[in-house]
Amino acid sequence: MSFNDLGLTPELARAVAEQGYTTPTPIQRAAIPGVLAGRDVLGGAQTGTGKTAAFVLPILQKLATQSGRLPRALVLTPTRELAAQVAESARAYGRHVNLRTQVIFGGVSERPQIEALRNGCDLLVATPGRLLDLAERSLLDLGQVRCCVLDEADRMLDMGFIHAIRRILKLLPRERQMLMFSATYSADIRALAARSLREPLAIEVAPRSNAPAERIEQHVYRVPQEHKRDLLVELIVSGNWHQVLVFTRTKHGANRLTQGLVAGGVCAAAIHGNKSQAARTRALSDFKENRITALVATEVAARGLDIRELPHVVNFELPNVPEDYVHRIGRTARAGGSGSAISLVAPQEAPLLKDIERLLGHSLPVATLPHFTVNPPRRSAAPATPASATGGVPRTPVYRAEPRRHGRRPSPRGHGTQSALPRARRPG
């Protein structure tokens, strides 16, 4: 089956072919005809299976040509990056049709976005916060929207956008087409669908959409937390990796790991919520253009990042929520490709690993640690020590952190085992 067989116009089919796609994915084969027929759709599919094209293509076809200045179709996304990428896809697929796509999100000046909306918009892609802000200040009129999409709906619920979504839906005409697309297909999503959709066409491509794509090779390295950075540097350098997306739990951890990778000779940048939108955009662009090797991200990048042929994803730290593991590793093996997902698991993360394996329904294979150099966490006179291939770690000089007394720094306590001592600050 080709995209022409789905009822798309020659202009849209040509644009799809120019993007390098010839065969529609299962979610696209199921959803595109339903959207074109005017049905509400509730779509669940594995991450990276082409959900964006499944709703963008039929929406572009239904919009047909420009009409007035107000948006007639609306796509809501949970993150700025996803909003920007959906808009980029819409412009690429709509390059041969006379339609205007605009994108609005927070973290940047609203003035250019307001001016763009005044110039006219057919398809609007937005994050809930900025959209609601402009609408409630009468700077955006949603009265002509005839089709609304909730993209990555489960993530929007996770991020607490449910109340904003309800307020936005009240601003739309009663007679509208509603589409919900999501990487997971939970009870919360079904409840939201029951309130928002009318007799929807339910599409669940995978029997269990909490499972990652089968083409992802997954394995685990069991390694002490303080040696993860050294192992990651070894994997990147010895494996000659040219592109790897690395996930951490916290923004501070992302910054610290980025500095450590750069110190180890790996070109890296961080992307998280504390970064300005300009910095996030620049880091993502550098990563896509292979100007940097490692992009270190928090959950802000776990959804929506569409990087063509991304070969490697690393969980530097396991997520607290098992479903986030699926979303993280879903950044690789997209659109029929293949990829590798590696998790660095410290002893204290064993319960998190069990939760993930319970969600997946199987254990993740444990790989043998390669030989790699363990560098002291802080500057030390002791030479770097190689780690054994069996995972045992020779003793290295460390310091035990002690409670401060009268503002004094902790003092060194000699040597100890890696597993028994916490990572300590450098003595004064």
- CA neighbor of 159 nearest in space, from 78, 256, 61: 78
181: which strand partners?
43, 151
Question: What's the pTM?
Answer: 0.68
- What integer pLDDT is reported at residue 65 of this predicted model? 76
Is the residue at 423 inside a domain? no
Identify whether residues 342 and 197 lie together within a single domain: no
Extract the residue ranges of the chain whose pLDDT is less than 50.
207-209, 379-428
Structural domains in the chain (count) = 2
- CA neighbor of 348 nearest in space, from 257, 223, 218: 223
- What integer pLDDT is reported at residue 258 of this predicted model? 94
Q: Of 366, 389, 406, at which residue does a domain stop? A: 366
Identify whether residues 340 and 194 lie together within a single domain: no
- What integer pLDDT is reported at residue 301 of this predicted model? 59
- What integer pLDDT is reported at residue 44 of this predicted model? 79
Is the residue at 149 inside a domain? yes
Is the residue at 400 inside a domain? no
Domain containing residue 36: CATH number: 3.40.50.300
Is the residue at 298 inside a domain? yes
Is the residue at 428 inside a domain? no
- Residue 263's SS3 state is helix
Identify whether residues 194 and 260 lie together within a single domain: no
- Residue 345's SS3 state is strand
Question: Structural domain of residue 43, as residue ranges?
Answer: 3-204
Identify whether residues 360 and 257 lie together within a single domain: yes
Is the residue at 387 inside a domain? no
- What integer pLDDT is reported at residue 247 of this predicted model? 94
- What integer pLDDT is reported at residue 328 of this predicted model? 85
Identify whether residues 146 and 187 lie together within a single domain: yes
Phi, psi of 160 (to 5 degrees): 80, 25
Q: Report the amino acid identity of residue 140.
A: L
Identify whether residues 48 and 21 lie together within a single domain: yes
Identify whether residues 225 and 132 lie together within a single domain: no
Q: Tens digits of per-residue pLDDT, 195-242?
A: 999 999 988 875 444 555 567 899 999 999 999 999 999 999 999 999
Identify whether residues 97 and 220 lie together within a single domain: no
Identify whether residues 255 and 157 lie together within a single domain: no
Identify whether residues 339 and 295 lie together within a single domain: yes
CA distance 252 to 369: 27
User: Tokens for 118?
Assistant: 């005044």
CA distance 371 to 209: 37
Identify whether residues 222 and 200 lie together within a single domain: no
Is the residue at 53 inside a domain? yes
Do 415 and 398 touch, CB atoms closer than 8 A?
yes
Is the residue at 427 inside a domain? no
Q: Of 134, 169, 204, at which residue does a domain stop? A: 204
Identify whether residues 245 and 174 lie together within a single domain: no
Residues 6+ apart with CB under 8 A from 391: 222, 223, 368, 369
Q: Of 179, 204, 229, at which residue does a domain stop? A: 204
